[in-house]
Structure 1
């Protein structure tokens, strides 16, 4: 299908652009729905709910300690812990300055 845009009026061109924009939007919406359905099927086949896999609480956690869980502990006082997030506690800095490594402090 070929359209002779050179012979069209400005109003006709604008109407055509509106129709094209709507068609593109509709196409993108359909493709997004198809992709979402495929993702949901795959998640179900693997024993998951897609929301479980895409919720903010499941992102960024790579099998280790979650936010707020102790990853490091003071060697002489295990009640002093650090999750590895945020600013280092003074006891961690002191242990590193005394020659220990972060690996030595793993809980």
Structure 2
């Protein structure tokens, strides 16, 4: 056992608590100083020399041109049990993955094109 550990073990509860509060204060001050230093370095890396940034300034900077509007995508697949739909884009929904694992084919869930033109107008 090290001599310092022996000293801590023989200290009274009040002395240990005072030591704990001193250490907590020192740690808090050092953490705050380190955070400020890192924020300054981040500001320099971001090309800003005016100091630390607040969290609200991390918003996306708008471009000069407006975002392109994407057309509405109609659903192509339907869950017959719950009437949930999927357009065929992005990750497959859980209900479809589970059905395919059980041996069913994706074509079984395809929405028929009957009335497709009416849906497109809506």
Q: TM-score, normalised by structure 1?
A: 0.48
Structure exhibiting the larger radius of gyration computed from Cα positions? 2
